[in-house]
Chains A and B, each alone.
Chain A
Amino acid sequence: KAGVTQTPRYLIKTRGQQVTLSCSPISGHRSVSWYQQTPGQGLQFLFEYFSETQRNKGNFPGRFSGRQFSNSRSEMNVSTLELGDSALYLCASSPMGQGSQLETQYFGPGTRLLVL
């Protein structure tokens, strides 16, 4: 099975712009989560989607949004970019995102965003 894919892998934007990142989960996986990783804050949870619905949300401003399509692919959008948004954005998928035992989350390689 192909792993989680994220596009683009690298991106350079300027302050005030907006950006859309894409994530294709492993085939058959229905839960997609997004994380932001920075040297200062580490890995932080952004949000999680399951069956096109946002089911969980981290503590990020409303400039960060996302959506999930019927084929489980997901996009996240950041509007009005700030310098502090420079980070590695990681997407992770899991089969159902629920159950009697935690399911493994499979992470993609990430999109490295640089805001100038």
Chain B
Amino acid sequence: LAKTTQPISMDSYEGQEVNITCSHNNIATNDYITWYQQFPSQGPRFIIQGYKTKVTNEVASLFIPADRKSSTLSLPRVSLSDTAVYYCLVAPNQAGTALIFGKGTTLSVSS
């Protein structure tokens, strides 16, 4: 399984755009990139998933370059409620795949 590396922590202010980059140098051809968000004492929540180029939903955008060795989660205009841990996961599309969570990035948003 591909190993992921992302910053341990990031700080931001309300209203700013936040970009969290994840590197996954040994990503395999059939691996997808998925981001989850977790608040304290809650289970992780799916944010966005992609394979290549750009994916956008109502919450975030995911940018994946052509070589797929990294990806960037973009959160537009963050608010205090976006303070959470963000996990980047890389996993193959196999049945029963276990999600391998790294340490994640703790995002702190201040007013």
Interface residues of A (CB under 8 A from B): 4, 31, 33, 35, 42-45, 48, 50, 55-56, 58, 88, 90-92, 96-102, 104-110, 112
- Residues of chain B within 8 A of A102, CB atoms compared: 32, 34, 49, 91, 93, 97
Going nearest first, the 3 A-B pairs with the smallest beta carbon separation are: A107-B43, A98-B95, A43-B101
Apart from A88-B41, A110-B43, 11 more pairs, CB < 8 Å: A43-B101, A45-B99, A48-B98, A50-B95, A56-B97, A92-B43, A97-B96, A99-B93, A101-B49, A102-B34, A108-B43
B100 within 8 Å of A by Cβ?
yes
Interface of B is mostly: loop
C-alpha spacing A26/B31, complex, angstroms: 26
Interface of A is mostly: strand
Contact present for A42 and B43 (CB under 8 Å): no
